[in-house]
Amino acid sequence: MIFTIDPDSPVPKYKQIINLVTQAVKSGMLRQDEQLPSINEMSESNYLARDTVEKAYNELKERGIIKSVRGKGYFAQSPSAHKFKVLLIMNKMSSYKKIIYYAFLKALGDAAVVDLYIHHYNALIFKEILEENLSKYNYFVIMPHFYEGLNKINVKELLEKIPSHKLVLLDRDLPELQGSYLAIYQDFEKDIFRALESGIDLLEKYVELVLIFPLDGQYPAEIVHGFRSFCISYKKDFRIIDNALHENVKEGVAYIVVEETDLAELIKKIRTSDLALGKQVGLISFNDTTLKEVLAEGITVVTTDFETMGRTAAALLLDGKQIKVKNPFKMIRRNSL
């Protein structure tokens, strides 16, 4: 086949080669084991540098769209053989993470095969998963949430073993990492500050804000920093406690709850009191669910858009992007505040 590159196109020339070859294989114009032009032939026919063609062919090989045979050249692979192989490593499989997972799979469609592992916040488990699979996948999509200091594993060093163009960080960014990689992330400190700020009119009637934040290390400490910063900025009395079990709910207090077990405990306590939820005592929960829309006539939430996170990660991965995208985060107002 002859592949013609458009010199006036804004699309980089190596990406034009990738797109042309990919479409030719998918459409059947290039059949299984059919030979491609050599690097020299492609560069001479389109007045391209050899490095440009080589870069495109290497990426096509990584994607499994073509293969190279030493001494013979480059050959097409069948559509069933050129799917991306993606290793998705999540910290846990909660209802929220399932939304991300299924949105990610749906957006990838037939373009990829995804294998899922769970590291359970344990850096040692993550290390074992990664080292066992480092040479087997085209992309590594990772949620980098770990218990602080556990097993003294240097997660940064582990992640830097992955070529940056193969790395996708999900839910949380690690700015200290070297190289250009894809990240779809929450900015936990700024997100909670801005979300509470957007509801300042609802919070005015409460004299104290209480963040119920578990101390087991599963949640980013930046949430605490953002909450404290908001309270100081808006001159609100505040407390931070690790569970709701021994809390005596009282008038004029609004609670921000991370765990659903604490949410349930507070709702029970409020129901047995003579306080009116959303009027005398307030309640904000992290992360939206369908149940929270109807529970106690509607629970106010601060939440990221989990479906958008999964869908965006897949779309940018397929497009070969190496950028950082902040996922949407907002307060959804309901009767509990």
Claim to verify: residue 59 and residue 93 sit in the same structural domain: no
Domain membership flag for residue 333: no
The contacts found for 56-59 with CB under 8 angstroms, 24 or more apart, are 56/13, 56/14, 56/15, 56/17, 56/18, 56/21, 57/17, 59/14, 59/18, 59/320
Instruction: Please give the Cα distance from 6 to 53 (Å, whole number).
Output: 14
Q: State residue 313 phi and psi, 5-degree precision.
A: -60, -45
- Structurally, the chain folds into a number of domains equal to 3
Q: Report yes or no on 7 lying in a domain.
A: no
Q: Are residues 213 and 258 in the same domain?
A: yes
pLDDT given for residue 151 in this prediction: 58
Least confident of 42-51, 70-79, 268-277, 303-312: 70-79
Do 75 and 150 lie in a common domain? no
Looking at the chain, how many residues does it have? 337
In a domain, 1, yes or no: no
Pair (43, 140) in one structural domain: no
One domain for residues 282 and 199: yes
| Residue 207 and residue 299 in one domain | yes
Residue 83, pLDDT score: 73
Tell me, what amino acid is at 192?
Answer: I
Query: Taking residues 49-54, what's their average pLDDT?
Result: 94
Whether residues 103 and 177 fall in one domain:
yes
Helix (H) or strand (E) holding 159: helix 155-159
> Does some domain include residue 8?
no
**Residue 31, SS3?**
coil
293 and 320 fall within a common domain: no
Mean pLDDT calculated for residue range 198-218: 95
User: Domain range spanning residue 148?
Assistant: 83-186+306-327
Percent of the chain with pLDDT over 70: 97
Q: For residues 207 and 291, state if they share a domain.
A: yes
Asked whether residue 98 falls in the same domain as residue 168, the answer is yes
pLDDT mean over 226-255 = 97
Tell me the average pLDDT across 107-118.
Answer: 93
Instruction: Decide if pLDDT at 82 tops 80.
Output: no
Out of 80, 96, 118, a domain closes at: 80
Give the per-residue pLDDT at 28: 81
**299 and 202 in one domain?**
yes
One domain for residues 315 and 178 = yes
Say if 337 falls within a structural domain.
no
pLDDT > 90? residue 13: yes
Look at residue 153 and tell me whether its pLDDT is greater than 90: no
Lowest mean pLDDT among 28-32, 125-129, 187-191, 267-271: 28-32
Q: Is the pLDDT of residue 142 over 80?
A: yes
* Band (61; pLDDT cuts 50, 70, 90): confident
The predicted model gives 296-300 an average pLDDT of 96
| CATH number of the domain encompassing residue 140 | 3.40.50.2300
Which residues neighbour 262 within 8 Å (Cβ) at sequence distance 6 or greater? 212, 214, 243, 244
- We report the CATH number of the domain holding residue 41 as 1.10.10.10
pLDDT, mean over the chain: 93
Can you name the residues that pair with 209 across neighbouring β-strands? 238, 254
Q: What pLDDT score does 135 carry?
A: 87
Closest CA to 63 of 23, 10, 13, 98: 23
Please give the residue that has the higher pLDDT: either 61 or 241: 241
For residue 150, pLDDT beyond 70: no
